[in-house]
């Protein structure tokens, strides 16, 4: 079974800044700044998407090879999970 990711929104306030996002996590009382690519990945999690699906979107959006996109997406998702900004479904 392929796991999917979902954004944690209950305790997160979102502020767009250009193509980046500032996320205020009120539970952890921390602010996170996501660059354009991490912002894109985090927003894809709003559609409850798998890492493979997100990698396909990243590969298309940023014109990179699928395997490179998958590696980068996996690293970003791991970090977002560590920060408790996304959850696995």
Q: Domains in the chain, ordered, with CATH?
A: 4-84 (1.10.10)
Distances (CA, A) of 18 to 12, 27, 45, 53: 19, 25, 20, 25
**Tokens 């009120």 belong to residue:** 26
| Residue 1 scores a pLDDT above 60 | no
Whether residue 51 contacts residue 70, with contact meaning beta carbons closer than 8 Å, is answered with yes
* pLDDT average, residue stretch 37-45: 93
Query: What's the confidence (pLDDT) of residue 48?
Result: 65
- Which strands form 49-50's sheet, in the order they lie side by side? 49-50, 4-7, 86-88
Mean pLDDT of 25-53: 91
Global confidence as pTM: 0.88
**pLDDT tens, 58-81?**
999 999 999 999 999 999 999 999
Specify the higher pLDDT residue, 37 or 47: 37
In the numeric block, which tokens belong to residue 8?
Answer: 């944690």
């Amino acid at each position: 079974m392929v796991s999917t990711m979902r954004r944690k929104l209950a305790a997160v306030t979102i502020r767009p800044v250009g193509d980046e996002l500032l996320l205020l996590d009120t539970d952890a009382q921390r602010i996170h700044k996501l660059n354009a690519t991490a912002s894109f990945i985090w927003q894809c999690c709003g559609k409850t998407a798998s890492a493979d699906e997100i990698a396909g979107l990243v590969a298309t959006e940023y014109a990179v090879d699928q395997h490179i996109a998958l590696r980068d997406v996996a690293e970003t998702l791991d970090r977002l999970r560590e920060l408790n900004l996304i959850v696995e479904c």
